[in-house]
């Protein structure tokens, strides 16, 4: 009998598959690989955009390392834990946003930061994560699809921080924050009547927003979009120079480090918002297609994770994070190409920046947690 029991135990151990290091760390390599490739490509582009400044590249590499640490830490958190803490994170981020007008630090004509002395941060970046977490936690609590009353409260949860951020003013971040919440509501399966009603309300709010919300320079950016040649040396300069850089690159580009628009300082914000123009000029349209393919791979994996999630909360949250990532890409590239007004949205993992990278990696850490939870439950 003991030998029989021992043989059963040995056979069970034989069937058990040893976990890979990635599984033990709760990492989804199919999602992580395109992200790392985008980062590597971004470092090459940033090196050229910064006039071969190794200091800028090293700081960006440090941002990537910090971001990966955040991703790794978040990936270890259970999804139900995120759901429980979502309201607290949302209320904390909203409180910080309300403190900005009174204690905020201004820069470039906007008051968006809070300073603790040794560090300065934007509460709006925290809200980019808190928004989908909180909205998803709210809409799934009563079952899906949500009732109209639940949808109405969800809209209020979205509008409060988005309007606060828009008044800072930071229209680009307000759009991203609002989008992350709207995607949760949409993916929750609201009815066509609710979608139509929300659309009509949004359309009705365009004119009041133009009169009372938008600043003069923001209105000028929108008007310049339709005729940038009207003010070539002023409001239209950014769009004209970015389109010139994109067009001059052609199919194959001028070659790495051979761009003229950024190196001769014609292209504004070449290291941040307009860095895709540097890529297009030096690497050509084929370089842009390669970057889009990597983005597409990351988005496809994110959507697969959302569709395969075990809980309604996980599905809504993963969908919102993935689609918001798409908004980053679409808004930035459309802005640089002159299709949308300039709103200051960075290109994910390519534009230079610290807080935006950490925020994005936090979101991807949540995707890793959802993906890992699926595999654990399925076993």
Q: Which residue has the tokens 């978040």?
A: 74
- Cα gap 122→351, rounded to integer Å: 17
Q: What radius of gyration, in Å, describes the C-alpha atoms of the chain?
A: 23
Residue 121, phi then psi, degrees to nearest 5: -140, 160
Please tell me the predicted confidence (pLDDT) of residue 109: 58
| Segments in the chain below pLDDT 70 | 1-17, 106-111, 118, 230-231, 233, 235, 374-379
47 contacts: CB under 8 Å, gap ≥ 6: 53, 54, 56, 57, 257
Please tell me the predicted confidence (pLDDT) of residue 379: 43
- Sheet containing strand 105-107, edge to edge, reads 105-107, 110-115, 120-121
- Cα gap 168→60, rounded to integer Å: 27
Please tell me the predicted confidence (pLDDT) of residue 16: 53
Please tell me the predicted confidence (pLDDT) of residue 111: 67
Answer whether 321's CB lies under 8 Å from 315's CB. no
- Cα gap 219→261, rounded to integer Å: 27
Please tell me the predicted confidence (pLDDT) of residue 171: 83
């Amino acid at each position: 009998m003991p030998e029989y029991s021992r043989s059963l135990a040995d056979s069970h151990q034989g069937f058990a598959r040893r976990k890979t290091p990635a599984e033990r760390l709760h990492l989804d390599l199919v999602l992580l690989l395109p992200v790392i490739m985008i980062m590597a490509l971004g470092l090459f582009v940033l090196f050229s955009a910064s006039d071969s400044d190794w200091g800028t590249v090293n700081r960006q590499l440090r941002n990537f390392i910090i971001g990966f640490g955040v991703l790794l830490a978040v990936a270890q958190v259970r999804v139900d834990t995120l759901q429980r803490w979502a309201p607290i994170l949302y209320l904390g981020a909203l409180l910080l946003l309300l403190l900005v007008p009174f204690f905020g630090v201004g820069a470039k004509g906007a008051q968006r930061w809070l300073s603790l002395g040794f560090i300065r941060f934007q509460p709006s970046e925290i809200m980019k994560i808190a928004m989908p977490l909180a909205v998803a936690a709210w809409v799934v609590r009563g079952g899906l699809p949500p009732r109209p009353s639940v949808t109405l409260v969800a809209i209020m949860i979205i509008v409060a921080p988005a309007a606060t951020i828009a008044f800072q003013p930071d229209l680009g971040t307000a759009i991203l924050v609002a989008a992350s919440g709207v995607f949760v509501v949409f993916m929750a399966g609201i009815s066509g009547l609710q979608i139509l009603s929300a659309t009509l309300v949004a359309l009705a709010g365009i004119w009041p927003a133009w009169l009372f919300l938008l600043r003069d320079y923001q209105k000028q950016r929108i008007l310049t979009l339709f005729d940038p040649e009207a003010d070539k040396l002023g409001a239209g300069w950014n769009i004209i120079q970015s389109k010139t850089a994109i067009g001059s690159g052609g199919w194959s580009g001028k070659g790495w480090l051979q761009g003229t628009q950024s190196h001769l300082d014609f292209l504004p914000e070449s290291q941040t918002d307009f860095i895709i123009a540097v890529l297009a000029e030096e690497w050509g349209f084929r370089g842009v297609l390669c970057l889009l393919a990597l983005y597409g791979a990351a988005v496809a994996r994110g959507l697969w994770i959302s569709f395969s999630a075990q809980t309604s909360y996980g599905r809504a949250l993963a969908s919102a994070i993935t689609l918001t990532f798409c908004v980053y890409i679409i808004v930035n590239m459309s802005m640089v190409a002159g299709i949308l007004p300039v709103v200051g949205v960075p290109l994910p993992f390519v534009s230079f920046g610290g807080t935006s990278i950490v925020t994005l990696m936090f979101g991807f850490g949540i995707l890793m947690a959802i993906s890992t939870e699926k595999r654990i439950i399925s076993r």
